[in-house]
Amino acid sequence: MMSDVKFVIEAKGLTRAFGARRAVDDLDLQVEAGDVFGLLGPNGAGKTTTIRMLTTLLAPTAGSARVCGFDVTRQPSEVRRRVGYVMQNVALQTNQLLTGRENVEIEAALRHLPRRQCRERADEVLDLVGLLPHADRLIAEYSGGMRKRLDLAGGLLHRPEVLVLDEPSLGLDVQSRHRIWDHIRGLRDEGTTVLLATNYLDEADQLCNRLTIIDDGRTVVTGSPADLKRAIGADVVQVTTNAADRLRVAIGGEPWVQRFVVTDSGDVHVYVDDASVALPAVMRLSLDHGVDLQRVTYNQPTLDDVFLLHTGRELREMEVSA
Summarised one tens digit per residue, pLDDT across range 242-275 is 999 999 999 999 999 999 999 878 889 999 999 9
Q: Which CATH code for domain 9-229?
A: 3.40.50.300
How distant is the alpha carbon of residue 227 from its chain centre? 17
Q: In this structure, are residues 196 and 37 in contact, taking their beta carbons and an 8 Å threshold? A: yes
Q: In this structure, are residues 229 and 302 in contact, taking their beta carbons and an 8 Å threshold? A: yes
Q: Is the pLDDT of residue 2 over 70?
A: no
CA distance 66 to 54: 8
Question: How many residues are there in the chain?
Answer: 322
Each domain of the chain, given as residue ranges in start order, spans 9-229, 234-300
Mean pLDDT of 211-217: 94
Q: Is the pLDDT of residue 296 over 80?
A: yes
What is the pTM for the complete model shown? 0.83
Written out in words, the top-level CATH class of the domain with range 234-300 is alpha beta
Quick one: DSSP state of residue 194? E
Question: What's the confidence (pLDDT) of residue 154?
Answer: 85
CA distance 164 to 4: 20
Q: In this structure, are residues 293 and 241 in contact, taking their beta carbons and an 8 Å threshold? A: yes
Q: Mind listing the pLDDT tens digit for each residue in 98-152?
A: 999 998 998 888 878 888 888 888 998 898 888 999 999 999 999 888 888 888 8
Report the candidate in 37, 27, 6 with the shortest Cα–Cα distance to residue 210: 37
- Residue 37: CB atoms within 10 Å: 24
Report the candidate in 163, 137, 171, 299 with the shortest Cα–Cα distance to residue 232: 299
How distant is the alpha carbon of residue 154 from its chain centre? 20
Question: What's the confidence (pLDDT) of residue 265?
Answer: 80
SS3 label, residue 265: coil
Report the candidate in 34, 4, 40, 33 with the shortest Cα–Cα distance to residue 202: 40
